[in-house]
Amino acid sequence: MVGGSVPVYDEIVISMSSMNNIRSFDPVSGILACDAGVVLETADNYLADQGHIFPLDLGAKGSCHVGGNVATNAGGLRLLRYGSLHGTVLGVEAVLPDGTILNDLSTLRKNNTGYDLKQLFIGSEGTIGIITAVSIICPPRPNVQNVAFFGVNTFEKVQETFIRAKRELGEILSAFELMDDTSQRYIAQVTGKRRPLEGDETKFYVLVETSGSNKEHDDEKLEKYLTALIEDETIVDGVLAQDETQARNLWSWREGIPEVLGHWGGVYKYDVSIPLKELYSLVEDVKARFIEQGLLGEDKNVVGVVGYGHMGDGNLHLNVPVRSYDRRVEEALEPFVYEWIQKRRGSISAEHGLGVAKREYVQYSRGETELSIMRSLKSHFDPVTSPPLL
């Protein structure tokens, strides 16, 4: 989808799919060791039989590899509950550029002997070595999961629902996902599915998931939260999944967004971190820019401007579906998007890394001292590779 397996220079493309063994699992500590080519969903299904859950969940879980998840430091849908891979990965095995094997596949939660080398490989995108195995701590699988979906008229009220979710749902809150109305209209248009909420459309939609061990306790907390939001008109309308099938259907309105956006031809994708108060302002400013330049409309190349993502960690996915890739659209987007983010001290890459497309723009999120250290690390591990990482 994003070109990670496409050669750009003179690379050899390596598939890790044959390295797909579960090496070990300790049911007492919950620590899993597995090959890098294990599919995320396969790992999670294995853990389900052991009463545990993989601390990462993605829409692409049926095809993405655990090693790739670690190499790109994927954040996913439940970072709010389980944290980032920097906290859950305990060790890695990796092959360095000169063929040396780094065997740091620790299964210890505490190991304060020198530098924490695994952290260099989490999010390194394979630039200093190829991850071949990981060890990761996996929490107990929740006995009860609830999913609620509701509509909100303003982004200010979205923020209010988030503040109250953290306060009132507390330890059982596992996901808080934001979708704008544009994304939801496109899913309905492309798939023909009936939208979850009847009546008037709202500007934003929120999906809240809770995970816990006591159904009566969790149900009561979530219902009380939703009822209060409706009574004081913070939200317009909402629905609470009554069973697992309804929960999966509600999740499909979030997870299905990336797939439907390619319906018209192509998509420009940005994965960024922005301070929460201004999270959606980027979408509005990009849309205004396209209108000003005459690029957005029913008879124009730009179909729309979509914003969705992980409200819980300030990660916005800005997507621009187009009928065809166009230099004018690209010039309207870049470097405008990166400059906008720099002014707010955000990040041009929240969870998907730099790749090739963002390599030239990393200075919008990193200072010269940071870049110099990165170059030194790259040169130490791999002194002969060209072109350079940064």
pLDDT tens for 203-246 read: 999 999 999 989 999 999 999 999 999 999 999 999 999 999 99
- My answer on whether omega of the bond before 387 falls inside 30° of 0, hence cis, is yes
Q: Which residue is associated with the tokens 């050669």?
A: 7
The pLDDT assigned to 80 comes to 87
- pLDDT greater than 90 at residue 390: no
Mean pLDDT, rounded, for 361-366: 92
Using left for φ > 0, alpha for ψ between -120 and 50, and beta otherwise, residue 355 falls in: left
pLDDT at 386 over 50: no
Q: What is the pLDDT of residue 5?
A: 74
The pLDDT assigned to 319 comes to 97
- Residue 389: per-residue pLDDT: 53
Lowest mean pLDDT among 15-19, 296-300, 352-356: 352-356
pLDDT greater than 60 at residue 379: yes
- Could you count the other beta carbons within 10 Å of the beta carbon of residue 206? 24
Lowest mean per-residue pLDDT among 1-10, 61-70, 99-108, 160-169: 1-10
Which domains are delineated in the chain?
Answer: 22-137 (3.30.465.10), 144-251 (3.30.70.2190), 258-370 (3.30.70.2740)
Question: Which residue, 239, 242, 255, is CA-closest to 184?
Answer: 255
Q: What angle do CA 152, 158, 163 make, to 5 degrees?
A: 140
Percent of the chain with pLDDT over 90: 82
Q: Which residues contact 93 (CB under 8 A, 6 or more apart)?
A: 101, 102, 103, 104, 105, 131, 132, 133, 134
Residue 22 neighbours by CB distance under 10 Å? 14
Task: Report helix, strand or coil for 312.
Answer: helix
**How far apart are alpha carbons 2 and 9 in whole angstroms?**
16
CA-angle at 350, arms to 21 and 207, nearest 5° = 85
Q: Is the pLDDT confidence value at 141 over 50?
A: yes
Q: Taking residues 131-151, what's their average pLDDT? A: 96
- What's the angle, vertex CA 140, arms to CA 37 and CA 71, rounded to 5? 30
pLDDT of residue 385: 65
User: Between β-strands 22-26 and 237-240, what pairing exists: parallel, antiparallel or unpaired?
Assistant: unpaired
- Position with higher pLDDT, 198 vs 187: 187
Please tell me the distance from the alpha carbon of residue 160 to that of residue 157, in angstroms, as a whole number: 5
The pLDDT of residue 298 is: 86
Which residues are 315's β-sheet partners? Answer: 273, 310
Pairwise CA distance, residues 182 & 3, whole Å: 25
- Phi/psi region, residue 82 (left: phi>0; alpha: psi -120 to 50; beta: rest), is alpha
Give pLDDT tens digits for 17-51.
999 999 999 999 999 999 999 999 999 999 999 99
What average pLDDT does the structure give for the chain? Answer: 92
Identify the DSSP state of 141: P
pLDDT-derived band at 116, boundaries 50, 70, 90 = very high
Amino acid 194: pLDDT: 93
pLDDT at 6: 79
* Interstrand relation of 89-95 and 130-137 (parallel, antiparallel or unpaired): antiparallel
